[in-house]
């Protein structure tokens, strides 16, 4: 069923005088900074405030983006980082593609239990420090990294023992603990920039986009792992919000909440689980909506949805829903070549019918 993004805003309204359970990590960070326990990497340049849970405002930096890349995307869906760079180039946003960045190692951690919290938090803090020493705002392409960094921020703020251990590791690298003022996912930035993207868009492309109906799926680590620091409240709105702003008719299917089946380890060693979960998701999508595409913001979900449709033939189902990242949609709107600049030819589920419907040439 079609729905308006504004209808699903689920920030709990604490203006009513409720104080119960308001968790304000920003205040806790400030307190730690005053005590000299941590440094805060403040937002550089212009920002836009967007509301998260409890009515707290999250500052979304609009320029000077340190690009914390996703290893899954770069390896597997390279059109996504390319699109992330593309829309920034088009909008004149300065960004930094760092070759001194490492993976966050959270995929490995959640899948295998190899590593430990000190290691995970130190890797996070080292990457944070890279953005800080280069003078950029820390922004994240990957949902696994995003969830992990929200979690690491929370654990580092709430636990002195971990903080001290991480500081020790960082000191051995000649680095210090600088927690970014905001942990921001790239899809939140694209959402905050929706007006600018729309203004700069190619009108012909927008015409094509207006013909599309889509469902959205968010990574579990985007909104479930730490659920009080994403734009919109408990239920995320950024991907659908951006898409509907560009003219896509957003549709809801009843299984929107369910995990895609990626499972961190299941996608590698237990794909029957992945395929079964996908079967449930895709069936609901087909029966209830039958959209032109599935919009995603998560590396793992994008991979799972894209790669697991073909095999559903084994259970007599024929699915062919192109899986498009929010930034690939933005890049297409801004006039990107679908293959050479948005990298859609790296997707396994064919995107050609979608491009035909949008009236975009690809050969």
Contacts to another protein from residues 102-161, by CB under 8 A: 102-103, 105, 107-119, 122-123, 126, 147, 155, 158-161
Kindly tell me which residue out of 94, 204, 268, 353 binds another protein, with binding defined by CB under 8 A.
268
Kindly tell me which residue out of 30, 258, 317, 352 binds another protein, with binding defined by CB under 8 A.
258
Q: Measured from the CB atom, is 59 or 130 closer to another protein?
A: 130
Going across the sheet that includes 249-250, the strands are: 249-250, 213-217, 293-296, 323-325
**Residue 318 near another protein by CB under 8 A:** no
Contacts to another protein from residues 238-257, by CB under 8 A: 252, 254-255, 257
Kindly tell me which residue out of 84, 308, 327, 328 binds another protein, with binding defined by CB under 8 A.
308
Contacts to another protein from residues 188-217, by CB under 8 A: none
- How far is Cα 191 from Cα 189, in angstroms, rounded to an integer? 5
- Cα→Cα distances 87→17, 200, 267, 286, 336, Å: 41, 10, 30, 31, 9
**Residue 173 near another protein by CB under 8 A:** yes
Give min distance, CB of 45 to another protein, in A.
22
Q: Measured from the CB atom, is 47 or 67 closer to another protein?
A: 67
Question: Which among 36-44, 198-206, 237-245, 260-268 is the span making contact with another protein, rule CB under 8 A?
Answer: 260-268
In the chain, the DSSP E strands lie at: 39-41, 47-51, 57-61, 65-68, 95-96, 137-140, 178-180, 184-185, 213-217, 249-250, 293-296, 323-325
Contacts to another protein from residues 58-77, by CB under 8 A: 69-72, 74-76
**Residue 48 near another protein by CB under 8 A:** no
Taking alpha carbons only, the member of 221, 151, 214 closest to residue 183 is: 151
- Residue 224 token pair: 């479930």
Rounded to 5 degrees, what are φ and ψ at 100?
A: -100, 10
Contact in structure between 136 and 101 (CB atoms under 8 Å): no
């Amino acid at each position: 069923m079609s729905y308006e993004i504004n209808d699903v805003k689920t920030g709990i309204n604490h203006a009513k005088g409720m104080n119960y359970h308001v968790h304000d990590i920003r205040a806790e960070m400030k307190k730690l900074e005053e005590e000299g326990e941590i440094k805060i990497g403040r937002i550089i340049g212009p920002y836009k405030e967007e509301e998260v849970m409890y009515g707290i405002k999250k500052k979304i930096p609009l320029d000077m983006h340190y690009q914390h890349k996703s290893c899954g995307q770069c390896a597997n869906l390279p059109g996504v980082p390319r699109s992330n760079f593309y829309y920034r180039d088009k909008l004149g946003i300065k960004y930094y593609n760092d070759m001194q960045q490492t993976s966050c190692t959270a995929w490995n951690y959640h899948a295998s239990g190899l590593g430990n919290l000190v290691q995970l938090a130190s890797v996070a803090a080292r990457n944070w420090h890279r953005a800080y020493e280069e003078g950029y705002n820390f922004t994240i392409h990957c949902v696994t990294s995003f969830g992990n960094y929200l979690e690491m921020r929370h654990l580092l703020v709430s636990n002195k023992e971990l903080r001290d251990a991480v500081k020790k590791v960082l000191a051995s690298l000649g680095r210090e603990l600088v927690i970014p003022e905001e942990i921001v996912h790239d899809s939140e930035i694209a959402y905050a920039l929706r007006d600018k993207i729309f203004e700069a868009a190619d009108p012909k492309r927008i015409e094509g986009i207006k013909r599309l109906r889509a469902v959205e799926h968010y990574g579990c680590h985007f909104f479930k792992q730490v659920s009080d620091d994403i734009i919109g409240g408990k239920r995320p709105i950024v991907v659908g919000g951006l898409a509907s702003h560009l003219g896509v008719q957003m549709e809801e299917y009843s299984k929107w909440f369910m995990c895609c089946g990626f499972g961190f380890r299941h996608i590698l060693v237990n794909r029957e689980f992945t395929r079964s979960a996908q079967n449930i998701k895709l069936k609901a999508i087909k029966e209830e909506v039958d959209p032109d595409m599935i919009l995603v913001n998560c590396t793992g979900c994008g991979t799972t949805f894209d790669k697991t449709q073909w095999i559903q033939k084994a259970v007599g189902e024929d699915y062919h829903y192109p899986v498009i990242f929010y930034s690939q949609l933005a890049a297409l709107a801004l006039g990107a070549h679908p293959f050479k600049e948005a990298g859609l030819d790296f997707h396994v589920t064919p995107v050609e019918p979608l491009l035909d419907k949008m009236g975009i040439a690809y050969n």
